[in-house]
Structure 1
Amino acid sequence: MKIGLRTLKTVVACLLAMLLASHLNLIYAPSAGIIAILSLGNTKKKSLSVGLARFFALILATILSFLTFGLLGFNAYGFALFLLLFIPLTVKFSLTDGIVVTSVLVTHYMLEKHFSGWLILNEFLLMTIGVGMSLLLNLYMPNLEEKLKRAQDEIEEGFRQVFQEMSNSLNKKSQKDLLERTDQLSKAIQFGLNEAMVHQENHWLRSNYYYENYFLMRKSQLRLIEEMVALLEKIQTKEELVEDLRILLSNTSQTLSEENDGRQILKEISWVLESYRLKPMPSNRLEFENRARLFQFLQTYKNFIEIKTEFSNIKYHGD
């Protein structure tokens, strides 16, 4: 059985919250531990936003429960009326993270049958301790940069292999290997994007969205790759017509990288496009259709590279 870091932090936060609440002689001290468990988010920013939502929800809940219990008494009917009003208001004010925890604290008012200043302070201290311990334990988060760089390397290699396979697959009907490769790339890109978002959420002040933007860029490129693969299945023409394109795809497979801004590749694509324009006109419908697909393939290819060029401009000259 493997015990992960999140599990350890949850246990420690719960333990410390209950011990501190007990040390302060708060009633319902175990509630602080439960709040700590429920407030320990996956990221620092998530934990903070959840904690703030619960504090505002507790303020709202205390006011509403004072009214409903005063109207119907400290019983199930008063609590039911409280929920009837409380839940829609938390939704309206985007405080839904506080519904469960705050409702539990409201039951303390019901059980004690009063709203003394001491009891209200008790509930806010339970919330403060629980949320505070979760924030304290979440100050440490593992650095994901190495994992993100490995994901980048995997994706770069995946794209290079796709371009080499496209070069090898020209004028062949079956693209099964390419379809499997694009599916693997899609999963790798989504994994990287998820990790990049977590990485960003674990920084309080820094707003460097480089990794997130990188994976979004590759995701956009992958959609174009899928279009190119679909076109490859329909291209069946003379070998001399695809020779330059085959070389271009092979060159791209060797030079494509995170650092390459793609400008040279764009020039090479323009050269191949121009060479097609200079070739003799198609002599029949089939040749015409294949020539049109080649032009469409190269235009999609160009769009693919332009996405990377734009990303490189933002990376080095903006953001």
Structure 2
Amino acid sequence: MKIIPFNIGLRTIKTAIAVSVSIILSNLLNLEFPYFVAMTAIISMDRTARLSISMGRNRVIGTFLGALIGILFATIDRGNPFLAGLGILIIILISNQLKLPGSITVGSFVFVAIMVHISDDITPFFYGLHRTLDSLFGALIAFVINLSVMPGYSVKRLDEKLNKFYPELIQTLNHVDTVSFDQFKMIYKTYNDYLEEALLYKDDVISKSCHAILNSHLVELLKYELPLKKLEIFLTSSDPNLKLILRNQIIQTL
């Protein structure tokens, strides 16, 4: 039987920690629905603190929107199936208009809970308010965990991957006549992925040493942007004179 490698990423570890912290703090604060705080922390957790803010924002806005429309419609006629459908329609339209599709699911969940799920002894206004505060709390936990748990790990891992990638990239550019278009596409995709990752981490890290590492790699990566574009033209062109010019230009930049 083939054994599948067991790999646990940093985001997985951070998510597990965020859930534990969410439940512990919710119990200490006697919150009624710890799962809502934990669920927000799970959804909000991403590769960087900046992305966690974005995910958390979607969650909080969706909760607020669902609560607001749910309170309004529950005041008119709680449990009305036609109003329930209309409310979901409004939530989807507003979320799409605000370009926040990530808010739709949680907004709909809160809306339906207010309209048909919560018991009569629970006031829709207080339920909606508490769920919004729970979402804020969960998003804050995810943000803090993302910043505090091994903050330089992702940058160091990217540094190791790029140091292995550069020789492969240089070899490709040095042997333009033997590189296939499929090989180029694979190299170019890897290049763009690493460039995107470096830019993503640049505005997120606090450590000066991590900033220095990222800035150094960004300068190095951007140096290869034009040669790679020229290589793409070289591989797709049928003009021998143009190919000769491009070959010389690519080699001269290395």
Tell whether the structures are fold-level matches, with TM greater than 0.5: yes
Distance 1:196 1:121, change over 3 A: same
Which structure would you say has the larger Rg?
A: 1
Distance 1:221 1:125, change over 3 A: same
> CA contact under 8 A between 1:32 and 1:129: conserved in structure 2?
yes
Give the aligned partner of residue 32 of structure 1: 37
Aligned length: 229
Give the aligned partner of residue 298 of structure 1: 244
Q: Is it true that 1:149 corresponds to 2:190 in the alignment?
A: no
**Structure 2 CA distance, aligned partners of 1:35 and 1:90?**
18
**Structure 1 CA distance, aligned partners of 2:249 and 2:80?**
66
> CA contact under 8 A between 1:148 and 1:211: conserved in structure 2?
no
Amino acid in the other structure paired with 2:127: L
With structure 2 as the length reference, what TM-score do the two structures score?
Answer: 0.76
Give the aligned partner of residue 217 of structure 1: 226
Q: CA deviation at 1:78?
A: 3.6
Amino acid in the other structure paired with 2:179: L
Give the aligned partner of residue 123 of structure 1: 131
> CA contact under 8 A between 2:64 and 2:128: conserved in structure 1?
no
Amino acid in the other structure paired with 1:155: L
**Structure 1 CA distance, aligned partners of 2:90 and 2:250?**
53
**Structure 2 CA distance, aligned partners of 1:10 and 1:73?**
36
Encode CA deviations 1:175-198: one digit per residue, 9 max, x unaligned. Answer: xx532xx42232123123212212
Q: CA deviation at 1:105?
A: 3.1
> CA contact under 8 A between 2:46 and 2:52: conserved in structure 1?
yes
Unaligned runs of 5+ in 1: 167-176, 232-292, 310-319
**Structure 2 CA distance, aligned partners of 1:198 and 1:75?**
48
Encode CA deviations 1:63-104: one digit per residue, 9 max, x unaligned. Answer: 222222223314554432211100011011012112222333
Amino acid in the other structure paired with 2:154: P
Distance 1:101 1:14, change over 3 A: farther
Give the aligned partner of residue 200 of structure 2: 201
Q: Map 1:4-23; keep pairs closer than 5 Å.
A: 4-23=9-28
> CA contact under 8 A between 1:44 and 1:202: conserved in structure 2?
no
Partner secondary structure for residue 42 of structure 1? coil
> CA contact under 8 A between 1:224 and 1:301: conserved in structure 2?
no
Give the aligned partner of residue 178 of structure 1: 179
Amino acid in the other structure paired with 2:229: S
Q: Is it true that 1:2 corresponds to 2:4 in the alignment?
A: no
Give the aligned partner of residue 186 of structure 2: 187
RMSD: 2.9
Give the aligned partner of residue 100 of structure 1: 105
Give the aligned partner of residue 81 of structure 1: 86
Encode CA deviations 1:231-274: one digit per residue, 9 max, x unaligned. Answer: 5xxxxxxxxxxxxxxxxxxxxxxxxxxxxxxxxxxxxxxxxxxx
Give the aligned partner of residue 314 of structure 1: none
Q: CA deviation at 1:137?
A: 2.5
With structure 1 as the length reference, what TM-score do the two structures score?
Answer: 0.62
> CA contact under 8 A between 2:231 and 2:246: conserved in structure 1?
no
Q: Percent identity?
A: 21
Q: Map 1:214-293; keep pairs closer than 5 Å.
A: 214=223, 216-227=225-236, 230-231=238-239, 293=240
**Structure 1 CA distance, aligned partners of 2:12 and 2:50?**
19
Amino acid in the other structure paired with 1:136: V
> CA contact under 8 A between 1:44 and 1:201: conserved in structure 2?
no
> CA contact under 8 A between 1:13 and 1:37: conserved in structure 2?
yes
> CA contact under 8 A between 2:58 and 2:100: conserved in structure 1?
yes
Q: Is it true that 1:138 corresponds to 2:143 in the alignment?
A: no
Amino acid in the other structure paired with 2:7: K
Which runs of structure 1 show a deviation greater than 4 angstroms over 4 or more consecutive aligned residues? 205-209, 302-306
Amino acid in the other structure paired with 2:166: Q
Partner secondary structure for residue 138 of structure 1? helix
